[in-house]
Amino acid sequence: QLTMSLNSPTLLNEENAQGAKRNTECMESLLQSPSFIQDNPLQQLQLASQEVLEKAKKSGRSKCPRCNSSRMFYCYTCFVPVETVPTKEIPTVKLPLKIDIIKHPNETDGKSTAVHAKLLAPDDVTIYKYPCIPEYEEKRHEIALIFPGPNSVSVKDIAFHLQKYAKKGVCSSDDDCSREPLPKQAKIESEEEKNPNECISSHRSEGTRLKKIIFIDSTWNQTNKIITDERLQGLLQIELKTRKTCFWRHQKGKPDTYLSTIEAIYYFLVDYHQEILKESYKGQYDNLLFFFSFMYTLIKDAKCCAGKE
């Protein structure tokens, strides 16, 4: 488990000079090896300085400023950094659309990468715990669900398929389409800001009509209960078919194109930026992998020094 790895003496406590030297040499060798460079697509990310995470790693677990629980780097229940990780030193990412994450009730909080999105893009990400999710029916013309399936389409085809929903006149001028449907429990964060006229046909191109993306946060074996929920029926489904996961908890028996939640969010946004917004990608969303990439390196380091690489 990740928690065990992060709390191991190898990672958190340099018990003696010899151990520290061995770790450093091992890590340097790992980072310089051709196999690591080839297998680590995260290496080229344009990230904010991770020095704050390096310092937190050395000092060990710290208290959550809200619930006082002992955590490493951040509290996965309160969605805030711990006391040794100042919020001002954590990057903030502005997203081109809103994101809802529906979390399975049995998904272990400490193992989920969904919290990374909330920590790094707090103004644009909302996390719900199933079965407490909004009603999406009246906004199908501006929402899509990221999930592989027989009816899923690629990112580049979003505009074409959303036109079908828009032509049905889902939003009429008499409706208050700006109002967020009330979830069956209160959101943890504040309501997102909306323009009452945004849902009405505007001067925007068809490609920018999409306003919200839904992600399901659970193990692949637990997704059936959520994906078959009537509130998600009829939504446009998007599949990310060309990316391969780097997640250290990849589930056995599943293809390597099944991504962790934060990977799916990141790769979708990169594709959306290029395919829909038609803009060159220059690392605008790379910091969404700020925590993920750091933990990836920690895990690789631990495996290397344990003789498992």
pLDDT, tens digit, 9 for 90 and up, residues 211-247? 999 999 987 778 888 999 999 999 999 998 767 777 6
Of 54, 86, 118, the domain-final residue: 86
Let me know whether 143 and 75 are in one domain.
no
Question: Does residue 158 have a pLDDT over 60?
Answer: yes
Let me know whether 240 and 297 are in one domain.
yes
For residue 16, tell me if it sits in a domain: no
Element (H, E) at 128: strand 125-129
Let me know whether 66 and 95 are in one domain.
no
Of 86, 110, 136, the domain-final residue: 86
For residue 203, tell me if it sits in a domain: no
Contact 294, 286 (CB under 8 A): no
C-alpha distances out from residue 296 to 42, 188, 299, Å: 9, 28, 5
Let me know whether 105 and 69 are in one domain.
no
Let me know whether 218 and 134 are in one domain.
yes
Let me know whether 214 and 158 are in one domain.
yes
Helix (H, G, I), strand (E, B), or coil: what is residue 144?
strand
pLDDT score recorded for residue 63: 95
Residue 44 pLDDT level (bands cut at 50, 70, 90)? confident
For residue 200, tell me if it sits in a domain: no
Let me know whether 66 and 100 are in one domain.
no
pLDDT score recorded for residue 304: 67
Mean pLDDT for the stretch of residues 245-256 = 61
Written as one string, the DSSP assignment of 12-28 is: H---SHHHHHHHHHHHH
* Alpha carbon 186 to chain centroid, angstroms: 21
Question: Does residue 276 have a pLDDT over 90?
Answer: yes
Let me know whether 216 and 262 are in one domain.
yes
Question: Does residue 85 have a pLDDT over 80?
Answer: yes
Let me know whether 230 and 294 are in one domain.
yes
Tell me how many domains the chain contains. 2
The CA distance from 5 to 300, in Å, is 11
The CA distance from 7 to 305, in Å, is 15
The CA distance from 227 to 222, in Å, is 9
Of 91, 90, 115, the residue nearest 101 (C-alpha): 115
Residue with structure tokens 């028996």?
Answer: 253
Q: For residue 172, is it left (φ>0), alpha (ψ between -120 and 50) or beta?
A: beta
Q: 256-261: which pairs have CB atoms within 8 A and are 24 or more residues apart? A: 257/148, 258/148, 258/220, 260/113, 260/292, 261/101, 261/112, 261/113, 261/114, 261/117, 261/215, 261/217
pTM of the model: 0.73
pLDDT score recorded for residue 43: 80
Contact 82, 75 (CB under 8 A): yes
Let me know whether 54 and 136 are in one domain.
no
For residue 36, tell me if it sits in a domain: no
Of 57, 86, 115, the domain-final residue: 86
Mean pLDDT for the stretch of residues 162-185 = 51
For residue 242, tell me if it sits in a domain: yes
Mean pLDDT for the stretch of residues 59-71 = 95
Residue 299 pLDDT level (bands cut at 50, 70, 90)? confident
Let me know whether 59 and 158 are in one domain.
no
Q: Which residue has the higher pLDDT, 68 or 218?
A: 68
Lowest mean pLDDT among 35-44, 61-70, 216-225, 300-309: 35-44
The CA distance from 236 to 258, in Å, is 19
Residue 67 pLDDT level (bands cut at 50, 70, 90)? very high
Average pLDDT, the chain: 76
Please, what sign has the CA dihedral across residues 220, 223, 228, 234?
negative
For residue 23, tell me if it sits in a domain: no
Q: Which residue has the higher pLDDT, 283 or 220?
A: 283
Domain of residue 54 covers 46-86
Lowest mean pLDDT among 127-141, 162-176, 189-203: 189-203
Let me know whether 119 and 256 are in one domain.
yes
Question: Does residue 73 have a pLDDT over 90?
Answer: yes
pLDDT score recorded for residue 111: 83
Question: Does residue 171 have a pLDDT over 60?
Answer: no
For residue 13, tell me if it sits in a domain: no
pLDDT score recorded for residue 138: 86
